[in-house]
Amino acid sequence: MFGIVLLGLFESFLLVHAETVELQVSSCGGNESSPILYGFMFEDINHSGDGGIHSQLLRNNGFQGESPDLTAYGAVGDVALSVDSCIHLSSAIPHSLKISIPEGASGDVGFFNEGYWGIPVNSETYTSAFFMKGSYSGRATISLRGRASDIVYASHGFDVEGNANEFTLQETKFESKQAPDGNNIWTLTFDGFKVAGEDIYISLIQLYPRTFLDRKNGLKPSLAQPIANMKGSFLRFPGGNNLEGMHPYSRWKWNETLGPLESRPGREGTWTYPNTDALGLLEYLYWCEDMKLTPLLTVWDGLSLGQGPGDIITGDALDPYVEDVLNEIEFIRGAESTRHGALRAELGHPKPFELFHVEIGNEDQFWGGGPSYPERLMKFYRAIHEKYHDIKLIASTADYLPAQLPEGLWLTFHTYSPPNELVSWFNKFDNVDRAHPWSVSEFACSKNDNGVQLSEPNMQCSVAEAVFMIGMERNSDVVKMGAYAPLFRNLGGTQWTPNMIEFNHSPDGVVLLSTSYYVHQLFSIYRGRTILDVQSNSAFGPIYWVASKSDTSYIVKLANYSPDKHNIAITFDDKNIDCTSSIHIVNGPPDASNVYRSIKVTPNKFAMSPDADGKFELELPAWGVGVMVVKFS
């Protein structure tokens, strides 16, 4: 027996010996584990980019997309607002906000923007900017105020210099008080008496709080920090379906996401809303750089999702798109002396980024893309491999492949499954061909076993994901990457559920970490370099396990996919283990979810010690996941 020191609030373990699952962990041998096994898949879905992890807070700020309108805008005072297509900031931003002020106007006049279903207002410094065209020069005021309460948290007056012939950039900084909630608006107003009878044109309004690591045009700390806290190893971007677009012309175009925001046209995103592309290729690469993540770049390979004539491109018609991908790779990792490497240097990053993983397409088995995928895959494969032998190339599906697979080609497996099905995939990779590694770059337990789609992850599903990840980790000599998807959901604008992290801006700017977040975080933080052999008196199910070894610790991951608690006894061949070790536990009722204003599941940590025979004994709760860390000398 051993003593448990409670380090968190949790029900007591009751240690008994009936039907104990015994695990004997070898101290040597085993398979080398992928050093980049756990990471992130990101695409702009559920307003996870614009209105999410990207820090700019004002919505519809460039009137981008196929049908620009006044969404998120409203008038202040006696003015008329309209979207103008004649007076434009740039060829990339062809629409502006026209403010028509009538003769005889007085008081504050202008407009407000409500952000992405609210604006989180904190006690900090904000940077705000906009482009203005018009003859007015004088005082303008930016404010942050409660939408319902009209309480003013910031009011900042500053001088603007107008120009009737061209747009000029107006930029200012100001301090704000803390708002109690996110039900706030940003306003830009002028003295009505001084602008009466005039038209003022405004474009590309911006509001930035402090950003993650103070990156210009960077990430929102409230969402970036939980991702950084997971200590993942890779980032797959930019999609996902959002890479592909509905038609070839609306695909994600890397070169149109570069440079100043006024040169980025944005696009009609695949997930029913416009993308500003302020979170562009360089921003993704900085994200990787700042969190020490390996980039996994997905590239467009001729498949769009519209399923109409011309939405799948094949044969010689693919040549310019192949060239475009080569240019993108050169931009990322080419020397300054190359054409596109020079552009990267001009944009502020002379040193090439690292890029060793490229996925050709996304889920090409869907949308009618399967039959043509072998040809399209090989066209891109040959071109990229000829120039970049060190890049690992990944097929986006294993369902449609050439008869002769290229040496070293990686394969992809995605699954959004009910829990019992996901558990059934536990041994999927036990007997696969080790010559072709796998990327499991999208997976989640997305519905109940009765087929009902989940709104949020629940504990049964998170345990099922743990079982699946244990299967991945046992085979992490061949399974190189795995990522939950989708990553984020703005509760104000949802296209897909469930998601790992939910958030809102209004009413209270909350960030919700799901049961799956905590399970995946533990699996990502605690991992070894070598997967160890484990002998047991039990077959897998309902208890599942994997053991690994890092430079300092043994790590045993456990999942109990059942409504009953189970007793587990663990011993190690290595006798040089520390007497004080720990276990992290996540558990709860099978339907327990972390939802808005009701957090039911968080991880807990316990100290553990072996008995006189070196045996660690524990009771793993029903629907529980445990990660045990045992130091060795």
Percent of the chain's residues with pLDDT above 90: 94
pLDDT tens string 430-487: 999 999 999 999 999 999 999 999 999 999 999 999 999 999 999 999 999 999 999 9
Given 354, 372, 390, the domain boundary residue is 390
- Average pLDDT along the chain: 95
User: What residue type is 116 in one-letter code?
Assistant: Y
Report the percentage of the chain scoring pLDDT > 70.
Answer: 97
pLDDT the model gives residue 509 = 80
On whether both 114 and 27 belong to a single domain, the answer is no
Q: Give 601-633 pLDDT, tens digit per residue.
A: 999 999 999 998 999 999 999 999 999 999 998
Using 50, 70 and 90 to split pLDDT, how confident is the model at 172?
very high
Q: Within a domain: residue 425?
A: no
Mean pLDDT, residues 148-158 taken together: 97
User: SS3 letters for 134-181?
Assistant: ECCCEEEEEEEEECCCCCEEEEEEEEECCEEEEEEEEEEEEECCCCCC
Bridge partner residues of 21 (DSSP): 568
Does 398 reside within a domain? no
pLDDT for residue 11: 36
Residue 440 forms part of a structural domain = no
Q: Clarify whether residues 245 and 218 are in a common domain.
A: yes
d(CA 594, CA 1): 34
Cα separation, 551 vs 528, whole angstroms? 8
The CA distance from 428 to 63, in Å, is 47
Compute CA 391 distance to the chain's CA centroid, rounded to the nearest angstrom. Answer: 23
Question: What is the structure's pLDDT at 4?
Answer: 33
Q: Are residues 154 and 22 in the same domain?
A: no
Q: Is the peptide bond before 603 cis (omega within 30 degrees of 0)?
A: no
- Verify that 586 and 626 share a domain, yes or no: yes
DSSP run (H or E) holding 473:
helix 459-474
My answer on whether 171 and 241 are in the same domain is no
How confident is the model over 3-9, as a mean pLDDT? 32
Q: What tokens does 556 get?
A: 């045993």
pLDDT of 455 reads: 98
Task: Assign residue 145 the CATH number of its domain.
Answer: 2.60.120.260
Classify each residue of 131-144 as buried b or exposed e, where b means 16 or more C-beta atoms within 10 Å of its C-beta: bbbbebeeebebbb
Structure tokens at 44: 């702009």
Helix (H, G, I), strand (E, B) or coil at 219: strand
Number of domains in the chain: 3
- CATH no. for residue 605? 2.60.40.1180
Residue (of 396, 432, 435) closest to 413 by Cα position: 396
Residues 44 and 110 in one domain: no
User: Is the pLDDT at 305 greater than 80, yes or no?
Assistant: yes
Task: Pull the structure tokens for residue 211.
Answer: 């950003």
Does position 375 have pLDDT exceeding 90, yes or no?
yes
Q: What's the CATH code of the domain at 329? A: 3.20.20.80
- 302 with 382, same domain: the answer is yes
Q: Same domain for 21 and 49? A: no
- Please report whether residue 455 resides in a domain: no
Q: For residue 560, what are the CA distances in angstroms to 246, 418, 454, 500? A: 42, 17, 21, 21
Distance CA 4, CA 6 (A): 6
Name the token pair of 426.
């536990």
Cβ neighbours of residue 586 under 8 Å, at least 6 residues apart? 459, 462, 515, 518, 519, 522, 601, 602, 603, 604, 624, 625, 626
Kindly state whether residues 202 and 217 are assigned to the same domain.
no
pLDDT at residue 190 in the model: 98
Q: What is the residue range of 21's domain?
A: 5-32+529-631
If phi > 0 it is left, if psi is from -120 to 50 it is alpha, else beta; for residue 61 that is: alpha
State which amino acid sits at residue 131.
F
367 neighbors 307 (Cβ within 8 angstroms): yes
DSSP 386-437: HH-TTSEEEES-SSS--SSPPTT-BEEEEEEE-HHHHHHGGGTTTTS-TTS-
What are the tens digits of pLDDT across the range 9-54?
A: 333 333 444 589 999 999 988 899 999 999 999 999 999 999 999 9
Last residue of a domain, which of 178, 208, 238?
208
Contact 500, 232 (CB under 8 A): no
Name the token pair of 296.
């996994």
pTM here? 0.95
For residue range 501-557, list pLDDT tens digits in order: 999 987 778 999 999 999 999 999 999 999 999 999 999 999 999 999 999 999 999
| Cα–Cα distance measured from residue 141 to residue 128, given in angstroms and rounded to the nearest whole number | 11
Please give the pLDDT value at position 506: 79
Q: Which of 390, 416, 438 is the last residue of a domain?
A: 390
Considering the domain architecture, whether residues 194 and 324 belong to the same structural domain is answered as: no
Q: Could you give the dihedral angle defined by the CA atoms of residues 20, 31, 430 and 385, in that order, rounded to the nearest 10 degrees?
A: 150
- The three-class DSSP label of residue 524 is helix
Asked if 183 and 116 touch (Cβ cutoff 8 Å), the reply is: no
In a domain, 400, yes or no: no
Three-state SS string across 226-258, please? HHHCCCCCEEEECCCHHHHCCCHHHCCCHHHHC
- Within 13 A of 287's CA, how many CA atoms are on the CB side? 34
CB 383 within 8 A of CB 413: no
Same domain, 91 and 150: yes
In whole angstroms, what is the distance from residue 633 CA to residue 616 CA?
17
In a domain, 444, yes or no: no
Residue 338 reports pLDDT greater than 50: yes
Q: Residue 224 gets which letter from DSSP?
A: H
Tell me the per-residue pLDDT of 213-250, one tens digit each, with 9 for 90 and over: 999 999 999 999 999 999 999 999 999 999 999 999 99
Any domain includes 479: no
**243, 92 in Cβ contact below 8 A?**
no
Looking at residue 12, its pLDDT comes to 35
How many CB atoms within 10 Å of residue 536? 15
pLDDT value at position 620?
Answer: 98
The three-class DSSP label of residue 457 is coil
Collapsed DSSP state (helix, strand, coil) of residue 591: coil
Q: Are 357 and 391 in contact (CB under 8 A)?
A: yes
* Domain-located, residue 66: no
Instruction: Tell whether 335 and 367 lie within a shared domain.
Output: yes
Nearest to 89 by CA among 208, 198, 202, 255: 202
